[in-house]
Structure 1
Amino acid sequence: MPGYEPFAYRVTKSGEVHISRVGRLVTVVRGPAAERLIARLGDDGASDQAALQRATGNYKRGNER
């Protein structure tokens, strides 16, 4: 599905990154990992989705095409 972006994120004032998928909170990234993730986000949708997938662990399950 072109343009489908299942992951969304929100950066809080305290520097946490709240990652949700289809409206449900999946994980919260804090500390140095959050800083690295924030630095990678914002370039384009596809690279943001890849970074969010890696951060949640929902990445490379073996059935990607």
Structure 2
Amino acid sequence: MPRPSGFHYEQRGDGTVAITHHGRSAATLRGARADRFLAEVESGDAQLVMARWTGAYRFGNERQARQHPRNRSGRR
């Protein structure tokens, strides 16, 4: 699976963190969640952390497996 790319984050003056993906807004974090996110970005791979926090990490087999009849179990 290719590494995530195209993510950027901006820490704003009011304590919020805005995450964008290829220029489009992907998430806005506030308060304790913003603090946890910033700590995690500092200690790990920033692109991977942002992909995980925004839910934009299902691009490969994970997405295909979700659609398999065996894994649907009545959900759509």
TM-score bracket relative to the smaller structure: 0.7 to 0.9
Matches within 5 A, 1:1-65: 5-42=5-42, 47-59=45-57, 61=58, 63=60
Partner of 2:73: none
Q: Normalising by structure 2, what TM-score?
A: 0.64
Structure 2 residues without counterparts, runs of 5 or longer = 62-76
Q: What is the DSSP-based 3-state SS (H/G/I as helix, E as strand, rest coil) of the residue aligned with 1:41?
A: helix
Quote the offset at 1:5 in angstroms: 2.8
Distance 1:31 1:23 in 2: 23
| 1:42 to partner: Cα distance | 3.7
Give, as a single letter, the amino acid of the residue that structure 2 aligns with 1:49.
Answer: Q
Residue 41 and residue 62 in structure 1: after superposition, are their counterparts in 2 closer, same or farther (change >3 A)? Answer: closer
How many pairs are equivalent?
A: 60
The residue type paired with residue 29 of structure 1 is: L
Amino acid of the structure 2 residue aligned with 1:63: G
Instruction: Report SS of the residue matched to 1:14.
Output: coil
Unpaired stretches in structure 1, ≥5 consecutive residues: none
* Structure with max Cα Rg: 2
* Deviating 4+ runs (over 4 angstroms): none
